[in-house]
Amino acid sequence: MQQHPSCIPRILHGRSASSSASSSSSSSEFAVDHLVIGGGVVGLAVAARLAESHPNASTLLLERHPQFGMETSSRNSEVIHAGIYYPNDSLKTKLCVQGNHLLYRYCKSKNVPFSRIGKWIVAVSADEADYLSTLQQKFDKIKHPEQEQLRFLSASERELEPNVKSTEVLLSSSTGIIDSHALMGALESDFLSTGGMVAYRSNVVGIEYSRSSASYRIQLEGSDEAIEARCVVNAAGLSSDRIAGLLLDPLPPDYTLHYCKGRYFCLRGNQPLVSRLIYPVPEKNLVGLGVHCTLDLAGKLKFGPDTKYVTDAANLSVDDITEDELDQACRAIQRYLRGIRREDLCMDYAGMRPKLSGPSGSFRDFVVAEESGRGFPGFVNLIGIESPGLTSSLAIADRVEALLHHPATL
Ligand SMILES: Cc1cc2nc3c(=O)[nH]c(=O)nc-3n(C[C@H](O)[C@H](O)[C@H](O)COP(=O)(O)OP(=O)(O)OC[C@H]3O[C@@H](n4cnc5c(N)ncnc54)[C@H](O)[C@@H]3O)c2cc1C
């Protein structure tokens, strides 16, 4: 893949640049109908959806790294969530529930590896068991494409996982795991095969709106030329507030991101302690879902992520863990799992949550907003797309396409 920062068309893949330019422009070298900023799972899903639904329009995806998925989309738990924990009328619930259904269908049709192994949410006290009942009642009220229900396990069913300590277990059978890299590969391939264009090593550093031409001018680092776009989708993950701030001045305070690091632990010797996803009852303020136990498709166990607010989004080191933090994580796991010794835990990797709520903040929903109301028609901000963003990616893509092309249906 070559980089030609001063000559935008030559860094494009897929459809050739000249045939893809949609409208002529006097001020820009290159013009497209849709421009997506960010090649994580969400940007790829949005780009693929726009290209598929609008074959006569041109769609360009810009990503600053040399390939897709080099940030949060490849540093997560790879769990296909069921949409259990958030308020029922929130986008997090709605898009996760729809996304779960769409993702399983997509994985089957595109041969993306996944496994619907199910998840146990484990109560270890009467209070926690009460919380699980509340969760079950809340979940029952959600309209589900497949009528998915949570159910409590019998005592004999709970013996299937002898290392799990529990007073009650709530089973989510629609929770599973996925190969997120393969998913992104499939989305990129779909996008390119429907005429989409990708420009890697393309760092967006400026955005201007021209009311006269009703289009956006996108400036890339190291390039004198701008790209003109009729519609822009900001799917820049950890930098999505900064990208929004290139246009919105001042940036709305509720668009400002906080960074919350999540570190993962592996088990020395990879002992096969469980064969399902095991989650504790989540933390009270939903900063994270608790230090849970997941498996990847190769059967490797991992624990985490923990939660630690930081100021630097690029701080993905796992060497900064203190003895106290390791003790705390170990105790959190030992509450629901037998056979865990502190000396068997080792550091694995870390991911960074792009959170709209701060350390003491309350629940914040995904921002999926078309900014006509602020004077910027055709500009969509996706901000605070933390978990369950991987699960929700295909549903977010549907919503963005609707916001841009048939908003009355929403
Ligand atoms: C620890 C952790 C665990 C998680 N576990 C799960 C889970 O199990 N299940 C689940 O559903 N979700 C999970 N998530 C959430 C999920 O990973 C994210 O919601 C999802 O990956 C977000 O994708 P994205 O495309 O929005 O962001 P990203 O993957 O961060 O992609 C954004 C892209 O934008 C690019 N970009 C930024 N600025 C610019 C610029 N100026 N110019 C060009 N490109 C730019 C970046 O380089 C990046 O590639 C987890 C998240 C974390 C942190």
Encode burial over 262-281: b for 16+ CB neighbours within 10 A, e otherwise: bbbbbbeeeeebbebbbbbb
Distance 354 CA to ligand 1 centre (A): 8
CB 253 within 8 A of CB 38: no
Count CB-CB contacts under 10 A for residue 58: 26
Task: Give the tens place of pLDDT for each residue, 354-405.
Answer: 999 999 888 999 999 999 999 999 999 999 999 999 999 999 999 999 999 9
Question: What gap in Å lies between CA 108 and CA 116, rounded to an integer?
Answer: 12
| Ligand 1 proximity of 40 Cβ (cutoff 6 Å) | yes
| Ligand 1 proximity of 17 Cβ (cutoff 6 Å) | no
The hierarchical CATH code for the domain 8-72+182-255+365-409 is: 3.50.50.60
| pLDDT at position 272 | 85
Distance 386 CA to ligand 1 centre (A): 7
* CA-closest residue to ligand 1 atom 41: 204
CB 289 within 8 A of CB 172: no
| Ligand 1 proximity of 176 Cβ (cutoff 6 Å) | no
Residue 85 per-residue DSSP state: S
Residues facing residue 381 across a β-bridge: 234, 369
| Ligand 1 proximity of 306 Cβ (cutoff 6 Å) | no
| Ligand 1 proximity of 70 Cβ (cutoff 6 Å) | yes
Q: How far is CA 314 from the centre of its chain?
A: 17
Q: Which of 173, 225, 179 is nearest to 17 (CA)?
A: 225
Count CB-CB contacts under 10 A for residue 72: 24
* CA-closest residue to ligand 1 atom 35: 38
Q: Which of 46, 44, 42, 22 is nearest to 33 (CA)?
A: 22
Distance 71 CA to ligand 1 centre (A): 6
Residues facing residue 210 across a β-bridge: 215
Which ligand 1 atom sits nearest the alpha carbon of residue 391? 11
Encode burial over 243-260: b for 16+ CB neighbours within 10 A, e otherwise: bbbbbbeeebeebebbbb
Q: How far is CA 260 from the centre of its chain?
A: 14
* CA-closest residue to ligand 1 atom 14: 387
* The token pair that represents 66 in the structure block: 């040399």
| pLDDT at position 6 | 42
Residues facing residue 121 across a β-bridge: 170, 279
Pairing of strands 277-280, 119-123: parallel
Task: Give the tens place of pLDDT for each residue, 25-75.
Answer: 445 579 999 999 999 999 999 999 999 999 999 999 999 999 999 999 999
pTM of model > 0.85:
yes
| Ligand 1 proximity of 81 Cβ (cutoff 6 Å) | yes
Q: How many CA atoms lie within 13 A of 287 on its CB side?
A: 19
Which ligand 1 atom sits nearest the alpha carbon of residue 389? 19
At residue 329, the 3 state secondary structure works out as: helix
Question: Would the CATH topology of 8-72+182-255+365-409 be identical to that of 119-173+258-355?
Answer: no
Distance 93 CA to ligand 1 centre (A): 18
* The token pair that represents 206 in the structure block: 């400026």
Domain boundaries, the chain: 8-72+182-255+365-409, 119-173+258-355
| pLDDT at position 145 | 77
Which ligand 1 atom sits nearest the alpha carbon of residue 68? 49
Mean pLDDT by 10 residues, the chain (410 residues): 38 44 53 98 98 97 98 97 96 97 98 97 95 95 83 96 96 97 98 97 97 96 94 98 97 96 90 92 73 93 93 93 90 93 93 95 95 97 98 98 94
| Ligand 1 proximity of 38 Cβ (cutoff 6 Å) | yes
| pLDDT at position 233 | 98
| Ligand 1 proximity of 180 Cβ (cutoff 6 Å) | no
When the candidates are 3.40.50.2000, 3.30.9.10, 1.10.3720.10, 3.40.50.970, the CATH number that belongs to 119-173+258-355 is 3.30.9.10
Question: What gap in Å lies between CA 116 and CA 321, rounded to an integer?
Answer: 32
Residue 132, amino acid = L
Residues 6+ apart with CB under 8 A from 69: 39, 40, 41, 44, 180, 181, 184
| pLDDT at position 374 | 96
